[in-house]
Amino acid sequence: MHTFRRPRPDDAAALYDLVAAYETAVLGGPDMTLQDIEDELAEPEFDLDRDGWVAEEPGGRLLAYAWACANGDSDLVDLDVIVRPGAEELTEPLWEKVLGRARELTAARGHDGATLHLGIYRADQGKQVIAKEHGFEPGTGFHRMRIDFDGPVEPPAPPAGLTLHSGESEEVRREAHRVHQEGFAEHFGFVPVTYEQWYERRQAHSATDWSQLALARIDGRPAAVVIGTDQFLPDQGCGYVATLAVLPEFRGQGLGRFMLRHAFAADAARGRKGTILHVDSNNTTPALGLYESAGMRPVMGIDVWRRRL
């Protein structure tokens, strides 16, 4: 027997136990951390009272977790259904709930349909079958890339006219936001957000450390940004490049490589074992080749499946 209810902030530990059980069955060990779960529950756009469900058995153990979360004012809705091994009978009822919520979210924003995104580990063939049964098809694939350090990393020599500025000031953060928005405008699933939305979301994420944001100016003009966080520090001892963007007019000059090498040197100087990032295999820029040529290697595949509802 089980009951459905809404998730609560104090569910974080029980949700981590559930997610870890699922990921261990698929990957051989947990991928998310308790910190990741806490951050999900604190996501500003995630309404705990309306956007999520958990299935709970009488003893309090959680058997499943499902959610649908709007992406700004767009028609894009991210969703997921996670079921503990052995409780697969809960899958279909939860799919009905998240698809219904996706319709509500997009209708409330004035859209006549929804674009749904579902992230699936490439190793999870069972979930891929379920996604197909619900009308999803592969949209794009992301590689998790990693490089390990065996000592200090020499900082790269800056190009002529380049200065670097950390994200502790609002002026730099606002310029970084603009570079991010313009640099990612043509990327898969990108939804533009205001500075206030961008800042609030990062501020709510416990892994955010504004000193790890580096904005590059060329002759005083904003040109590129790299945003590092602590997301992979607790479990893997690595830095994480959450964002690397170069404005179109400054591409082709080695600026992306410089920013990447700067992130490596900064992570090594902090005593981290390596640096991790995610890259879209269909990126409109040659990012995958850049990361591989800089010594990074793929360690995991995660696909985004897509459906128009």
Q: What integer pLDDT is reported at residue 156 of this predicted model?
A: 96
3-state SS, one letter per residue, for the chain? CCEEECCCHHHHHHHHHHHHHHHHHHHCCCCCCHHHHHHHHHCCCCCCCCCEEEEECCCCCEEEEEEEEECCCCCEEEEEEEECCCCHHHHHHHHHHHHHHHHHHHHHCCCCCCEEEEEEECCCHHHHHHHHHCCCEEEEEEEEEEEECCCCCCCCCCCCCEEEEECCCHHHHHHHHHHHHHHCCCCCCCCCCCHHHHHHHHHCCCCEEEEEEEEEEECCEEEEEEEEECCCHHHHCEEEEEEEEECHHHCCCCHHHHHHHHHHHHHHHCCCCEEEEEEECCCCCCHHHHHHHCCCEEEEEEEEEEEEC
Question: Does residue 245 belong to any structural domain of this protein?
Answer: yes
Integer Rg of the chain from CA: 20
Question: Does residue 140 belong to any structural domain of this protein?
Answer: no
In a shared domain, residues 286 and 156: yes
Parallel, antiparallel, or unpaired for β 238-246 and 115-121? unpaired
- Average pLDDT score, the chain: 95
Question: Does residue 179 belong to any structural domain of this protein?
Answer: yes
For residue 127, name the pLDDT band (cuts at 50, 70, 90).
very high
Lowest pLDDT segment from 33-47, 245-259, 285-299: 285-299
In a shared domain, residues 106 and 160: no
Q: What integer pLDDT is reported at residue 283 of this predicted model?
A: 66
Last residue of a domain, one of 82, 113, 135: 135
Tokens of 145: 């890339």
Q: What integer pLDDT is reported at residue 189 of this predicted model?
A: 82
What integer is the mean pLDDT of 247-252?
94
Percentage of the chain modeled with pLDDT above 90: 93
Q: Give residue 37's Cα distance to chain centre.
A: 13
In a shared domain, residues 8 and 81: yes
- Residue 154: give its domain's CATH number: 3.40.630.30
> Which tens digits make up the pLDDT trace of 128-182?
999 999 999 999 999 999 999 999 999 999 999 999 999 999 999 999 999 999 9
> Taking a C-beta distance cutoff of 8 angstroms, is the pair 113, 309 a contact?
yes
User: Tokens 């309090």, residue?
Assistant: 60
Question: Does residue 226 belong to any structural domain of this protein?
Answer: yes
Last residue of a domain, one of 135, 169, 202: 135
Crossing angle, helix 34-42 and helix 12-27, to 10 degrees?
120
> Taking a C-beta distance cutoff of 8 angstroms, is the pair 142, 280 a contact?
yes
| Count of domains for the chain | 2
For residue 284, name the pLDDT band (cuts at 50, 70, 90).
low
In a shared domain, residues 86 and 114: yes
Q: What integer pLDDT is reported at residue 222 of this predicted model?
A: 98
Q: What integer pLDDT is reported at residue 1 of this predicted model?
A: 77
What integer is the mean pLDDT of 5-27?
98
In a shared domain, residues 8 and 116: yes
Question: Does residue 307 belong to any structural domain of this protein?
Answer: no
With CA atoms as reference, report the closest residue to 168 among 132, 204, 199. Answer: 199
In a shared domain, residues 27 and 88: yes
Question: Does residue 111 belong to any structural domain of this protein?
Answer: yes
> What's the domain range around 163?
145-301
Parallel, antiparallel, or unpaired for β 52-56 and 238-246? unpaired
> Which tens digits make up the pLDDT trace of 200-231?
999 999 999 999 999 999 999 999 999 999 99
> Taking a C-beta distance cutoff of 8 angstroms, is the pair 268, 152 a contact?
yes
In a shared domain, residues 190 and 230: yes
Question: Does residue 250 belong to any structural domain of this protein?
Answer: yes
In a shared domain, residues 57 and 119: yes
For residue 285, name the pLDDT band (cuts at 50, 70, 90).
low
Question: Does residue 19 belong to any structural domain of this protein?
Answer: yes
In a shared domain, residues 260 and 212: yes
Last residue of a domain, one of 91, 106, 135: 135
What integer is the mean pLDDT of 52-78?
96
For residue 100, name the pLDDT band (cuts at 50, 70, 90).
very high
In a shared domain, residues 159 and 212: yes
Lowest pLDDT segment from 5-19, 59-73, 186-200: 186-200
Tokens of 220: 């005083």
